[in-house]
Amino acid sequence: MRNVVLTSIFCALLSTSALAQTSTTSPTPAPNAPADANAPLPGANSFTEGQAKSRLEANGYSNVGGLKKDDNGVWKGTATHSGAQVNVSVDYRGNITRN
């Protein structure tokens, strides 16, 4: 009888730990997350213009301007990086690319 109870408890704990390992994907990766090789990715972008600008600034860009969301949901504009004026994009996942 004791073995049945211990086995039941062990199975219950085992199944609970499997549920705890469920993960979700964040729509806004950390500022220094690696960029997707296919970026900018088209998709429904939930970033506001201000959030896209803040993301660029957090990644070393300054003088961010002219941000406009295109038909693919990608924010595009200009910024300065390492003293050079560059065209930039921010996709729905937060990937930053230079165009």
The pLDDT of 68-97, averaged and rounded, is 94
Domains in the chain, number: 1
Domain that includes residue 47, residue range = 40-99
The answer as to whether 71 is a domain residue is yes
Structural domain contains residue 26: no
24-81 pLDDT per residue, tens: 333 444 444 555 566 677 777 788 999 999 999 999 999 999 999 999 999 999 999 9
**Where would I find the H helices in the chain?**
2-20, 49-58
Q: Is residue 18 part of a domain?
A: no
In a domain, 94, yes or no: yes
User: Per the confidence metrics, is the pTM higher than 0.75?
Assistant: no
Each residue of 52-70: b (16+ CB within 10 Å) or e? bbebbeebebeebeebebe
Within-domain flag for 65? yes
32 within some domain: no
Q: Is residue 87 part of a domain?
A: yes
